[in-house]
Amino acid sequence: MRILGKARLRLRSLCRRPNVDFELEAELRFHLDQLIEENISSGMPPEEARRAAQRMIGGIAQHKEECRDMRRVNFVEDLVQDIRYTIRSLAKSPGFTGVVVATLALGIGANTAIFTIVHGVLLRPLDYPKPDQLMYLAAESPATGDTRNPLSAPEYAEFRQMNQSFAAVGAYSTGGAAYTTGEVNLTAGDRPLRVRSISVDAHLLKALSIQPEQGRFFSDEETARWTGTLPPPIAILSHELWRTAFGGRSLVGQKVEIEGRLHEIVGIMPPGADVMDNQTQVWLPLWLHPSTARQRGVHVLYVIARLKDGVTFEAAQTELNAFIKDWGERVGTKDHVPTNNPVRAVDHTLQLQALQDAIVGSSSRQIWVLQAAVGFVLLIVCANLANLVMARAGSRRREFVLRTALGASRGRLLRQSVTEGAVMSGAGGILGLWLASAGVRALIRAYPTSIPRTSELTIDLPVLLVALGLSTGTALLFGFVSLGRGRTSMATALKEGARGASGAWRHYARRGLVTAQVAFAVMLVIGAGLLVRTVYNLTRIDAGFDRSRLVTFSMTLPMANSDPDTRAQAYQRVLDRLRSVPGVLGTVAMSGLPPDRTPDAVATPVENYTSDDGRPFAIVDYYQFVMGDYFGTMGIPIVAGRGFERTDNASQGKVAIVNETLAKRIWKGQNPIGQRLRPPGGSFGATDDVWHTVIGVAKDVRQRGVERPAGTELYVSLDQHGVSPPSMNVVMRTTLPPAALSGTVQRVVREVDAAVPVVRLRDMDSVFAESIRRPRLLAQLLGAFAGLALLLAAIGTYGVLSYMVTERRREIGIRVALGATRCNVLTQIMKQGLQVTMLGVTIGLAGALAVNRLIASLLFGVQPTDIVTIAFVIATITAVAVIASWLPAWRASRLDPNVVLRDE
């Protein structure tokens, strides 16, 4: 009660201040009148009585102030006063304010933006109930370096039965079954779309514990009984696709054409529902061809499992290890089971991983590197601000001293400084937050697939708290930097007067700050330099073909309503029509588009061959089914034998071309020409497996990322077989840009099949850019941050030197008067600037060598200690330092001793 009462009174004092003041005035006036009356009644003349009374009670104003002090609302009043004063005084020096607020906004903005990513991608739990119970089970083959591979169907079934640790174990697939590429054709109204799909079983939906927004999920029946030749025609749409493609109209129970067949829509997912950041638009029932489902060697299923309540990750891992130890005995086969000791390329083991780690994967390190980089930028920003504030505090010395002399307490002055800091960092913070949100949005728009979980990125409460913390921290820094300055006694300060001579510690502090700035900038610029070199190296890689003036698109003729030979004819028609377009020099089609395609890893029988593990077949990493003059149009050199020729089409003997890696790995120095392999006909639509004779060896082409060494590759000519797999990539050698070809391509494809969408029409340079998007994004961001750091360090150096020149005008004037030449002055000042910079460069270099190991795994073709990069960075920083020091030094050398000495 009492506390409430008091609060009410204080609130009254604050809110109704004019009223309270008026009351106080009246109360004191009453007292004064009483005193006058008393004086008069004791016999004084009225005028004298009044004067005596006033003398007696002293200044009314002072009493009022004391009474108000008693009411304890001064703090708030002072704050309002401070803020007003601050805004006035900041408005008077717009240059200073502008630099501070802009610097702060950049520092806070960069940090908030990156922290938004750190928080949204790495820290925030997944959007499933109890997300830490979700585990990802993957196959690993250390011998081939493959991690996070899918499991085979028998393995999945066995693990489901054996385990005791998991409440639910489910599987999904994005390829390898009826829907091969993780994308399907879908007709919305009369619009053909290509949408992202995933095939899931009922167990997976149970494990993830997601509920459909409308309709139902797939049943066990629908996703586990794999019979016939095609999966059951049912589908669930994502909320987003349902809204955008179908306008949100009632759809459950209706039929929609997917991959050439009518599918019943059984449900709609809630907004944002997804698996493994797949950006799923259509959910299809998991289905495997019965023969595929029996093979242990065919790894097609990705497995996600939910731990039982109370079971730890370690317990589940221990259980899994026990299974792997005697998996073979448990299931009664020695053939291709997981092993704890995988030594050969065909061996694999199983690895459990938290689902979140599996989703974020390798980008985690890149994001932390960025966070560290912006952390450095913030430190540089703080050092710069501290320097600026010190300089400003120096020039406002007299103001502070005067205020102290007029009775301002030290606490009161500190409060004023902190308020100044708070106003500026508040402005910087708000501006920074705006920059951050704009930046994150632009980033996602520019690189939609480079950062995982982007659909969930928002600036939410924890991010806001971090931004707030950054602003508060800098505000306090401001206050205390000014406070440190205020320590000199009033008397000294007044005596020193306008000269503002300063203690040595302040010189050291300011130079120390510049040294630190330069050191951090050096570390950042070296890091950025290494990544820029990495990207340069990646773009310079010879992928094995001539990428210039190539335009590509992809299309899919669904398996359900086409057969291999009608597909081949349809593709042939598309190719023929495109060849007749003016400006198109050559047109070919291929099943997998280099340099970034998924591997096939097909077991291929080879004549007179035994593999390391005693089998008569080799695993071929990539199958490339081609149409047209493939090698000529793509510019892939044939290093031995010959390429496909028109005459092959009519000949009976089937021919194949291998790449250098395959030739070396299988035939080890023997002549590959004339050797025979038997690719499974099912993989490209042929009815049976026939022997193919090798007629040529092609130069290696990078298939799965430009930075990865080429695998083994086998080329088969579809023109010879007259069949085609459902999805093909068309590539045109042309003088025209993709935009100019777009209309023609759309028309040609529509004429051949109106239900087939043209997908990803773009030039080959874009395909390459896309394949190295992550390192490029990292290099660009880091480069921007490094540039910012460099700029800030330059401003810092310049600021400190100019301030020093201003402070030492007199000394310089005297020296010039005593005969120092302009050149002497110039070199002296510049020497001081460069000394500070060089110290910073040395420290930064040591720091860079210490921490650059951490980014070694992100580099390509360049060592963390790359001497060229380091030399270049040192040269750049030195050049920047020379410019930053030259300006104040030049100004010092122009000082006219007459003017300077008269001023003093």
Piece of 57-65, 399-407, 572-580, 866-874 that binds other proteins (CB under 8 A): 57-65
33 vs 335 by CB, closer to other proteins: 33
Neighbours of 211 (CB within 10 A): 11
Determine phi and psi for 818, rounding to 5 degrees: -85, 0
Piece of 63-71, 152-160, 290-298, 305-313 that binds other proteins (CB under 8 A): 63-71
Q: Which residues contact 393 (CB under 8 A, 6 or more apart)?
A: 400, 417, 481, 482, 485, 486
Q: How far is the CB of 37 from other proteins (least distance, A)?
A: 9
Count of residues in the chain: 904
Q: How far is the CB of 486 from other proteins (least distance, A)?
A: 22
Q: How far is the CB of 11 from other proteins (least distance, A)?
A: 12
Q: Are 728 and 574 in contact (CB under 8 A)?
A: no
Q: Are 245 and 282 in contact (CB under 8 A)?
A: no
Q: How far is the CB of 1 from other proteins (least distance, A)?
A: 8
- Report the residue from 17, 21, 31, 122 that binds other proteins according to the rule CB under 8 A: 31
- Report the residue from 19, 45, 72, 754 that binds other proteins according to the rule CB under 8 A: 72
Report how many helices (DSSP H) and strands (DSSP E) the chain contains, helices first: 32, 25
- Report the residue from 67, 102, 431, 784 that binds other proteins according to the rule CB under 8 A: 67
Q: 764: helix, coil or strand?
A: helix
Q: How far is the CB of 2 from other proteins (least distance, A)?
A: 5
Question: Residue 585: in which H helix or E strand, if any?
Answer: strand 584-590
3 vs 867 by CB, closer to other proteins: 3
With 0-12 / 13-18 / 19 or more C-beta atoms within 10 angstroms meaning exposed / middle / buried, residue 513 is buried
59 vs 709 by CB, closer to other proteins: 59
- Report the residue from 15, 16, 22, 23 that binds other proteins according to the rule CB under 8 A: 23
22 vs 536 by CB, closer to other proteins: 22
Q: How far is the CB of 6 from other proteins (least distance, A)?
A: 6
Piece of 62-70, 330-338, 640-648, 725-733 that binds other proteins (CB under 8 A): 62-70
Determine phi and psi for 511, rounding to 5 degrees: -65, -35
Q: Residue 409 interacts with other proteins (CB under 8 A)?
A: no
- Report the residue from 47, 66, 309, 314 that binds other proteins according to the rule CB under 8 A: 66
56 vs 883 by CB, closer to other proteins: 56
Q: Residue 579 interacts with other proteins (CB under 8 A)?
A: no
Nearest to 350, CA basis, from 148, 200, 153: 148
Q: How far is the CB of 31 from other proteins (least distance, A)?
A: 5
Q: Residue 220 interacts with other proteins (CB under 8 A)?
A: no
Determine phi and psi for 229, rounding to 5 degrees: -115, -10
Q: How far is CA 581 from the centre of its chain?
A: 41
User: Which residue is associated with the tokens 């995933």?
Assistant: 198
Please give the Cα distance from 698 to 713 (Å, whole number). Answer: 9
Q: By rule CB under 8 A, what count of residues binds other proteins? A: 25
24 vs 79 by CB, closer to other proteins: 24
Piece of 4-12, 477-485, 506-514, 533-541 that binds other proteins (CB under 8 A): 4-12
With 0-12 / 13-18 / 19 or more C-beta atoms within 10 angstroms meaning exposed / middle / buried, residue 902 is exposed
Q: How is residue 712 written in tokens?
A: 């083994």
Q: How far is the CB of 72 from other proteins (least distance, A)?
A: 7
Piece of 67-75, 105-113, 180-188, 238-246 that binds other proteins (CB under 8 A): 67-75
9 vs 468 by CB, closer to other proteins: 9
Q: Which residues contact 339 (CB under 8 A, 6 or more apart)?
A: 324, 327, 347, 348, 349
- Report the residue from 41, 42, 47, 58 that binds other proteins according to the rule CB under 8 A: 58
Q: Residue 6 interacts with other proteins (CB under 8 A)?
A: yes
Q: How is residue 873 written in tokens?
A: 């960075």
Q: Residue 252 interacts with other proteins (CB under 8 A)?
A: no
35 vs 87 by CB, closer to other proteins: 35
Please give the Cα distance from 815 to 807 (Å, whole number). Answer: 14
Nearest to 684, CA basis, from 660, 654, 716, 652: 716
Piece of 64-72, 180-188, 696-704, 804-812 that binds other proteins (CB under 8 A): 64-72
User: Per residue, what are the HEC states of 423-485?
Assistant: HHHHHHHHHHHHHHHHHHHHHHHHCCCCCCCHHHCCCCHHHHHHHHHHHHHHHHHHHHHHHHH
What's the DSSP call for residue 170?
E
* Alpha-helix residue ranges (DSSP H) falling in 71-183: 74-92, 94-117, 153-162
With 0-12 / 13-18 / 19 or more C-beta atoms within 10 angstroms meaning exposed / middle / buried, residue 743 is exposed
Q: Are 677 and 606 in contact (CB under 8 A)?
A: yes
- Report the residue from 25, 45, 46, 62 that binds other proteins according to the rule CB under 8 A: 62
Q: Residue 489 interacts with other proteins (CB under 8 A)?
A: no
- Report the residue from 70, 76, 402, 446 that binds other proteins according to the rule CB under 8 A: 70
Q: How far is the CB of 312 from other proteins (least distance, A)?
A: 58
Q: Residue 27 interacts with other proteins (CB under 8 A)?
A: yes
- Report the residue from 14, 17, 21, 28 that binds other proteins according to the rule CB under 8 A: 28
Q: Residue 501 interacts with other proteins (CB under 8 A)?
A: no
Buried b (16+ CB within 10 A) or exposed e, 723-740: bbbbbbbbbbbbebebee
Q: Residue 407 interacts with other proteins (CB under 8 A)?
A: no
Interacting positions 35-54 with other proteins (CB under 8 A) = 35
The one-letter code for the residue type at 412 is R
Q: How far is the CB of 7 from other proteins (least distance, A)?
A: 10
Q: How far is the CB of 30 from other proteins (least distance, A)?
A: 5
Determine phi and psi for 171, rounding to 5 degrees: -135, 155
Please give the Cα distance from 447 to 517 (Å, whole number). Answer: 31
Q: How far is the CB of 35 from other proteins (least distance, A)?
A: 8
Going by their DSSP bridges, the two strands 234-237 and 261-268 should be labelled as parallel
- Report the residue from 26, 402, 490, 879 that binds other proteins according to the rule CB under 8 A: 26
User: Which residue is associated with the tokens 């595929």?
Assistant: 292
Interacting positions 366-385 with other proteins (CB under 8 A) = none
Q: Residue 819 interacts with other proteins (CB under 8 A)?
A: no
Please give the Cα distance from 635 to 628 (Å, whole number). Answer: 13
64 vs 398 by CB, closer to other proteins: 64
13 vs 214 by CB, closer to other proteins: 13
67 vs 581 by CB, closer to other proteins: 67
Q: How far is the CB of 76 from other proteins (least distance, A)?
A: 15
Q: Residue 25 interacts with other proteins (CB under 8 A)?
A: no
- Measured CA distances, 24 to 17, 28, 68, 72 (Å): 10, 6, 9, 15
- Report the residue from 71, 615, 676, 773 that binds other proteins according to the rule CB under 8 A: 71
| Interface contacts to other proteins, rule CB under 8 A | 2, 5-6, 9-10, 23, 26-28, 30-31, 33-35, 56-58, 62-63, 66-67, 69-72
